[in-house]
Structure 1
Amino acid sequence: MNVDRMQELVGQMRALAAEAAGKPSAGQGVAGGASSQQGDFAATLKTALDGINQQMQSADTMQQQFSAGQSNLSLSDVMLASQKASLSFQAALQVRNKLVSAYQDIMNIQA
């Protein structure tokens, strides 16, 4: 693969990441905004994982409360919360798998 094509692809990925974060992309150089983009990516990833963790804990709490016989919870609410948490976790696993695959591809290119 051509190095120019790889740099173009990295530039496109950075522009998309900046757009997703709500920041304007100002055509930064490769070394210009690397540390801030790494921090933004890490913060975004941590926020997403914290949200998934909170969903899973909430679903677990609802399951325990329903099992204890609290009358204000319906089975459909408990199952819906459980399925949302499960889908969020599965999506996070898919993202992790794609990131690992991309990392391996990059490492193979450099070798």
Structure 2
Amino acid sequence: MTTIRPTSGLQDILALRQEVLARSQALKDVRDAAGVQPASGSGPSAPPVADFGDTLGHALQQVSAVQQRSSDMQAAYERGEVTDIAQVMLARQEAGVAFEATLQVRNKLLSAYQDIMRMGS
């Protein structure tokens, strides 16, 4: 006789719920960092707080700050001020991911610009 384990399905559902909550929190953090207020259900949506250029500039400043922090931590490790190599490597990895994401956004923007320019001809 085989036993049915209802908890495995429950564990999958709980894991999925946790993933949805984590993504929701990440989106909320991005929205809060951009300074955009959520649209309320009643009435028209509010205009964006900042224009695209300001938002992009702010994002680039954040990437620059992450890279600077990584560089500072690496220099501190080389001087012997920081002894936790995991923190240094984590900061370097974070800076690398931030730069790669910025590069991908740049590529998408460039591609969209080229597509728009081709529409005119």
Query: For residues 53 and 119 of structure 2, what CA distance do their matches in structure 1 show?
Result: 24
The one-letter code of the counterpart of 1:22 is Q
Larger relative contact order, structure 1 or 2 (CA cutoff 8 Å, min sep 6)? 1
User: Alpha-carbon deviation of 1:73?
Assistant: 3.6
Distance 2:64 2:118 in 1: 33
List 4+ stretches of structure 1 deviating above 3 A: 23-27
Q: Structure 1 106/23 Cα, relative in aligned 2: closer, same or farther at 3 Å?
A: farther
Q: In the alignment, does 2:92 pair up with 1:77?
A: no
1:40 aligned partner: 51
TM-score relative to the length of structure 2: 0.61
What is the rounded CA distance, in whole Å, between the counterparts of 1:89 and 1:26 in structure 2? Answer: 36
1:100 aligns with 2:110: yes
Gaps of 5+ in 2: 1-30
| 1:26-81 deviations in Å (ceiling 9; x for gaps) | 58xxxxx8xx88x61111101100000000000000000000111x4400000000
Q: Which residue of 1 aligns with 2:11?
A: none
Counterpart in 1 of 2:22?
none
1:53 to 47, 59, 64: 64
Q: Distance in 1 between matches of 2:83 and 2:52?
A: 37
Question: For residues 23 and 97 of structure 1, what CA distance do their matches in structure 2 show?
Answer: 28
Q: 1:41 to 1:65 in 2, by over 3 A?
A: same
Instruction: Give, in angstroms, the shift of residue 110 of structure 1.
Output: 1.3
| Greater share of helix | 1
TM-score, reference length from structure 1 = 0.66
1:88 equivalenced with 2:103 (yes/no): no
Q: How far does residue 23 in structure 1 lie from its aligned partner after superposition?
A: 6.0
What value does the CA root-mean-square deviation take over the aligned residues? 2.3
In terms of Rg, which structure is larger?
A: 2
One-letter amino acid matched to 1:107: M
